[in-house]
Structure 1
Amino acid sequence: MDAYNEADLHRAAAAAVRAPSLHNSQPWLFRLAGGAIEILADPARRLPTVDRTGWAARIACGAATYNARLALAAAGRPAEVRLHPDPREPGLVARLTPGRERPPTYAETELFEAIPHRHSNRQPFWPDPVPTDVRIRLLDAARTESGWLALLVGTVAVAGFSEIATSADRVLRRDTAYQAEMEAWRHAIPDSARAPMAEPQDVLPQRFFNERRRAPGHDYEPEPLVGILGVPGDSAADQSNAGQAMQKVLLTATAAGIDTSLISQPIEVPTAREQLRRSLGRPGHPQIVIRFGYGTPTSAAPRRDVSEVLTGLGTLVPGIGGA
């Protein structure tokens, strides 16, 4: 196969827009250029306060890249991926070029079919533990995308993480610009997809998108399963690759019937991120935190129509370079 066409572009973008993003900002664009599908950061969807370095946009675009890969593979037209292929265009996150045509694998089909069912569940989860075999699959999902997933086991480990995450959340809440940015993006997440109002007994911090109190007896799980995902480096390409690893982990969880939500406050505050990195004792850098469990079904946040995220051939998009 020499080139992707417009049908491939639409197929890839339709899957890619289902990826998660901070505040549901959906910071991506897609174009067909020289027979390749390219994924770019959309500067109009940047979060200038909470995402000053562009880390969150790169994570989101990496996740969108992974969804696009699955869509193309499921159609028998798999892609070879280069991340940040052109230093002259730092906003170009990924270039997908045609690989050898072949039928999709069972694993690719399973994860592709999970895409429309994956969305963040910010509600309390049931106390039922995630089975060991599923945990192993989650670890493998990160590893096969050149990442790692540290699952926190035991009350001591979770309590240590809780202290770091809660402290980072307090720092962010004291920032008036951060509060204003949160308020500006409230519309992107419907009431049905928001977390209930935080209460003192909560172990993990939640974004304050909601003023709705939870019903009595509906507390968050006292021992949540928390996974910290990281990659060896912290360059722009490393962060985009972390987005791919994150999305594979999320889809693996969805395919196994596991709900997830994302926690990024300890990544957004540099001192908290460094404290988290030291506490893990692993080489590399934490990039996102994932909460796993079994929850009551919730609604997905809306996505932009594919027609809104396609851009013209050869159009340059201003960069979000640096890391």
Structure 2
Amino acid sequence: MSGQEPSDERLTDLVHDAAAAPSMHNAQPWRFRYVRRSRTFEMRADFERAMPRSDPRTRGLHIGCGAALLNLRVAVAHEGWHPETRLLHDPSDPALLASVRLTAPGIGENDLGTLYPAIHERHSSRFPFDETEIPDAVREALSEAARREGAELTFPTSWHLQEVLEMVREAEARNLTDRGSDQDLAEWTRIDAPSANMTDDGVPEYAFGPRKRGGKAPMRDFAGPRQVAGRDAADFEESPQVALVSTSHDRPEDWLRAGQAMERVLLLATLEGVSSSFATQPLEWTDLRWPLRDPVTGTGYTQMLLRLGYGPKGSRTPRRPVAEVLDIRP
């Protein structure tokens, strides 16, 4: 592909790969524009898919867009191009987040393409994981993946881990009685969608996973107060393995870096046979987010909390048609 202008079909494939990224409540808050004369993708935020109650600063929206940006870079590298990437911050056009220019191969990172097989294999798994510990070598590789995107991945242990889990439980309890959180959950979950073909976005009931009967895993119940007919209950892990994605600063460009780091970690984890899910509940409450940070240094801003482990793969969730999110210009 690198020797010729990509066809519309190939551009569609690249955005299809990018859009396989995770996002808060699977809202998919992104749009892409491809400009042929410069061989450049522009990535834009779709603020109509923001969650003003759960994500008032659009931090979570930017993280989801960062994950899609990483997928695009991986897909471009897989096709033989080098993805020359710039994070953009224009106060006059806040929706314009980043650009990816397709340049000649052999420049910069060429190992991104090795992550490509994981793009469509990575799905959030809201099922119980077993108690098998992730090997140190895998943990270090995941941490290095985050560092390469300008973020830190740390695995809390001992009393810090227990505090993190307690904050997740506190946030989950608050969300059950918070009208704003309940409204977001109702808007972005699909009780009546039995398959991925029945809807274009949101979290359908088949992807909720079982109700948590026991265990300490940091799980969000996407059903909220609603009853889902035929939904099972299960015991989750007593010793969950969680990881924190953090950045030195807390600006929109840092949120994009965190999203790219998160997705790079998740793709590598998928290749290593490690399943994953998210626990964003304490990040939605200002007073709970700050105490998540590294207790040793007391610095940094926690951007995402991941649950990692060995267990069933998650279910594929729906995606918007590429025609809705891609605009091709001369």
Secondary structure of residue in 2 paired with 1:98: strand
Q: Residue 42 in 1 paired to residue 25 in 2?
A: no
Q: Paired residue for 2:205, among 191, 214, 219?
A: 191
Which of 4, 19, 22 aligns to 1:20? It is 22
Q: CA RMSD in A?
A: 2.4
**CA shift digits 1:39-90 (9 cap, x unpaired):** 1111222222111111111001100000000111111111111112433211
The corresponding residue for 1:299 is: 315
Alignment: residue pair count:
311
CA contact (8 A) 1:164 1:272 kept: yes
Q: 1:69 aligns with which of 53, 63, 73?
A: 73
1:220 matches 2:236: yes
Note closer, same or farther for the CA distance 1:28–1:254 as it changes in structure 2 (3 Å cut): same
> Could you tell me which amino acid in structure 2 is paired with residue 14 of structure 1?
H
Provide the residue aligned with 2:34 in structure 1. Answer: 32
For the 8 Å contact 1:4–1:98, the answer to whether it is kept is no
Contact 1:30-1:310 at 8 Å conserved across structures: yes
One-letter amino acid matched to 1:206 = R
Change (3 A) 1:197 1:103: same
Match of 1:233 in 2: 249
Structure 1 residues 104 and 72, CA gap change in structure 2 (3 angstroms): farther
Matched, 1:144 2:158: no
**CA deviation digits over 1:79-114, x for unaligned, max 9?**
111112433211111111233324997742331111
Corresponding residue to 1:164 among 164, 167, 190: 167
Judged with a 3 Å threshold, the aligned counterparts in structure 2 of structure 1 residues 104 and 299 are, in CA distance, closer, same or farther, namely farther
Q: Secondary structure at the match of 1:169?
A: helix
Deviation, structure 1 residue 191 = 2.5
Distance (whole Å) between structure 2 residues aligned to residue 5 and residue 75 of structure 1 = 10
When structure 1 is superposed on structure 2, of 203-212 and 303-312 the one drifting more is 203-212
Amino acid at match of 1:308: E
**TM-score in terms of structure 1 length:** 0.88
**Equivalent of residue 134 in structure 2, options 105, 130, 134:** 130
2:283 and 2:113 mapped to 1: Cα distance?
A: 32
Call closer, same or farther: CA 1:76–1:267 in 2, change over 3 Å: same
In structure 1, the residue matched to 2:197 is none
TM norm structure 2: 0.87
Give the direction of change, closer, same or farther, for the CA distance of 1:39–1:124 in structure 2 (3 Å limit). Answer: same
Map residues 85-100 of structure 1 onto 2, 5 A cutoff.
Answer: 85-100=89-104
Question: What is aligned with 2:194?
Answer: none
Q: Does 1:264 align with 2:280?
A: yes
In 1, are the aligned partners of 2:143 and 2:152 still within 8 Å (CA)? yes
List runs of 5+ in structure 1 lacking aligned partners: 315-323
Q: Which runs of 5+ in 2 are unaligned?
A: 191-201
